Amino acid sequence: MTWWGWGAPGHDAALPEHALRFLAAEVGLAEQARGPVDLAAVRLRESALPAGVLQRLLAICGADGARTDREARVWHAAGKSYPDLVRQRTGDCAVAPDVVALPRGDEQVRAVLECCAAAELAVVPFGGGTSVVGGVEPLRGRFRAVVTLDLGRLDRVLEVDPKALVVGVEPGLRLPALEVALAGHGLTLGHFPQSYEFATVGGCAATRSAGQASTGYGRFEELVRGVRLAAPAGELDARAVPATAAGPDLRALVVGSEGTLGVITGLSLSVRPRPPLTRHEGFVLPDFGSGVEALRALAQERAGPDVVRLSDEQETRASLALAGEGGWLRRVGFAYVRARGRAAGALLICGWEGEENEAIGRRARSVAVLRRHDALSLGQAAGAAWVRTRFHGPYLRDALLARGVLVDTLETATSWSRLEALYDAVGVALRGALDRRGTPPLVLCHVSHVYESGASLYFTFLARQEEGAELEQWRAAKCAASEAIMANGGTITHHHAVGTDHLPWMEAEVGSLGLDLIRAAKQTLDPVGVMNPGKLLP
């Protein structure tokens, strides 16, 4: 991954002409494309690592197991949030870690934690580095230096149990590598977040990830059967049993702890047989509201697809424009849709996966529900096009930043009863905040996960960047949206986690006694407080 953006170095992220024209008309573009600064020009502090620590880390992790070089420090200086990208592109790496440790195996992880707790050094666990909420920002807290603990070398599949459909894995294993290993056994994890190409299983557990097919396969936390945590105070082993009534579920304390309690060193995950049938299909609903009602019926009648993604009218319109005249949506059905008076409808992508009879039967029930809600099918080509581009979103950000466009996403969830009010309030908040700064935004939204009791809302907002005040501009929009979320019964995050960006709303989210409970767990597992300071807990 590049240190300043998304994807492998050298990939092409240029936007086509028609997309640039659309964005120029909607939000405005910078006249000149601006690239990131060179690695050599990035501003770094001297490593503040106390004498002797580097030697101790090398003794623990081996001769190549601790790095203080520019490349390693810059690469681990940030995740992939909008503020991260703005800072990295301009070469501001003041927060870079003082050293990057690269342990192999959980004994080395425990030894690194002991070393850091003894030397009073902050520790930032780092998986794929894909956090979009500041989760891997190497903050020092009250400590004199910070060690980023890169889990990339804990990347083994330890056990495959095809009888129980459970696998044992190390935390630094990337999702695609796990899928490759599972394919050899005819299995799949079925977890496909937009960060799929780079995300690690440990990161998914630490942040309560949800993937594009989690409506069907379950959120990552539902896939975690057992989890092992190395903490400064010792090892916690929440072992894998299918179900238990033996007191509170301690797995739920580790999952979502975002590296603040310790380092996840092992996971037992539920897997499934690879689906013999996978079918993705597009539909157009008369409008977003009727689409939401259709999704509610699908979820509550248990007739639902494994993948659902319902765009509002604005996102549907933007998808059409960005796809261009030759784009898939125009090609497959737009003329037909327009002919039926649905030019301003809401696009829905559905995916069914499973054993043939089961999936075909479920699709038939889904389609019956959708027809009841006046959906028009766009066929499988629209679904296939979505599958082809399902991980492309993060790449576009680099191209947009290069042309001076603010782009960020935020997400929430609430009950079906409050969904419409929450949708309206967040849209009003984002438009209000950015209008007030003279940069009227384009606000897009889709529902990506449905539950019996409610659904998620995923917002994308774009605006012309305020040059020189990029972070203030972003913060104004982020704060306005977050306040609207909390005032309307939403959760501050449905699957992006808390990190640094959602800290101000954690007390509203869980209450002061809730925060005290997390702090008590931290005091027990990490009495010196070295683990990932400045994240999760205000």
* Range 175-214, binding its own copies (CB under 8 A): 207-210
CB 313 within 8 A of CB 288: yes
Q: In angstroms, rounded to a whole number, what is the distance separating the alpha carbons of residues 122 and 97?
A: 9
Q: How far is CA 453 from CA 214, 375, 414, 446, 495, in A?
A: 15, 22, 8, 17, 17
Residues in 107-166 that interact with its own copies by CB under 8 A: 161, 163-166
Q: In angstroms, rounded to a whole number, what is the distance separating the alpha carbons of residues 179 and 189?
A: 7
Residues in 441-470 that interact with its own copies by CB under 8 A: 449, 451-456
Could you tell me the smallest distance in angstroms from the CB atom of residue 493 to its own copies?
Answer: 5
Could you tell me the smallest distance in angstroms from the CB atom of residue 482 to its own copies?
Answer: 11
Reading the block at residue 452, the tokens are: 């019996």
Of residues 10, 248, 326, 341, which one binds its own copies by CB under 8 A? Answer: 248
| DSSP summary character for residue 38 | P
CB 327 within 8 A of CB 320: yes
Of the candidate spans 48-56, 69-77, 440-448, 508-516, the one that interacts with its own copies by CB under 8 A turns out to be 508-516
Of residues 447, 521, 530, 531, which one binds its own copies by CB under 8 A? Answer: 521
CB 473 within 8 A of CB 437: yes
Nearer to its own copies, 137 or 221 (CB): 221
Of the candidate spans 15-23, 110-118, 189-197, 357-365, the one that interacts with its own copies by CB under 8 A turns out to be 357-365
Of residues 76, 272, 363, 403, which one binds its own copies by CB under 8 A? Answer: 272
Name the pairing type of β-strands 307-311 and 277-285.
unpaired
Of residues 243, 325, 341, 468, which one binds its own copies by CB under 8 A? Answer: 243
Nearer to its own copies, 74 or 166 (CB): 166
Q: In angstroms, rounded to a whole number, what is the distance separating the alpha carbons of residues 459 and 159?
A: 39
Of residues 41, 244, 326, 341, which one binds its own copies by CB under 8 A? Answer: 244
Nearer to its own copies, 314 or 456 (CB): 456
Residues in 18-37 that interact with its own copies by CB under 8 A: none
Note whether 365 binds its own copies by CB under 8 A: yes
Could you tell me the smallest distance in angstroms from the CB atom of residue 234 to its own copies?
Answer: 5
Could you tell me the smallest distance in angstroms from the CB atom of residue 521 to its own copies?
Answer: 6
Q: Which of 411, 409, 449 is nearest to 292 (CA)?
A: 449
| DSSP summary character for residue 196 | T
Q: Which of 259, 194, 253 is nearest to 221 (CA)?
A: 253
Of residues 69, 107, 237, 435, which one binds its own copies by CB under 8 A? Answer: 237
Of residues 69, 71, 107, 301, which one binds its own copies by CB under 8 A? Answer: 301
Q: In angstroms, rounded to a whole number, what is the distance separating the alpha carbons of residues 7 and 456?
A: 27
Of the candidate spans 29-37, 56-64, 93-101, 231-239, the one that interacts with its own copies by CB under 8 A turns out to be 231-239
Nearer to its own copies, 159 or 467 (CB): 159
Of residues 305, 496, 501, 530, which one binds its own copies by CB under 8 A? Answer: 496
Q: In angstroms, rounded to a whole number, what is the distance separating the alpha carbons of residues 283 and 347?
A: 6
Q: How many residues bind its own copies (CB under 8 A)?
A: 92
Of the candidate spans 43-51, 171-179, 225-233, 329-337, the one that interacts with its own copies by CB under 8 A turns out to be 225-233
Which H/E stretch holds residue 490? none
Exposed / middle / buried, residue 277 (Cβ in 10 Å: 0-12, 13-18, 19+): middle
Could you tell me the smallest distance in angstroms from the CB atom of residue 250 to its own copies?
Answer: 5
Of residues 493, 501, 526, 531, which one binds its own copies by CB under 8 A? Answer: 493
Nearer to its own copies, 145 or 236 (CB): 236
Nearer to its own copies, 165 or 384 (CB): 165
CB 282 within 8 A of CB 231: no
Name every residue whose Cβ is closer than 8 Å to that of residue 428 and which is 6 or more positions away in sequence: 484
DSSP class per residue in 450-489 = B-SSEEEEEEEEEEE--TT-HHHHHHHHHHHHHHHHHHTT
Of residues 68, 90, 290, 300, which one binds its own copies by CB under 8 A? Answer: 300
Could you tell me the smallest distance in angstroms from the CB atom of residue 318 to its own copies?
Answer: 26
Could you tell me the smallest distance in angstroms from the CB atom of residue 132 to its own copies?
Answer: 11
Which H/E stretch holds residue 441? none
Nearer to its own copies, 55 or 453 (CB): 453
Could you tell me the smallest distance in angstroms from the CB atom of residue 532 to its own copies?
Answer: 12
Name the pairing type of β-strands 307-311 and 405-415.
unpaired
Nearer to its own copies, 54 or 294 (CB): 294
Nearer to its own copies, 1 or 515 (CB): 515
**DSSP E strand stretches across 182-324:** 187-188, 224-231, 234-238, 263-270, 272-273, 277-285, 307-311
CB 67 within 8 A of CB 36: no
Nearer to its own copies, 19 or 253 (CB): 253
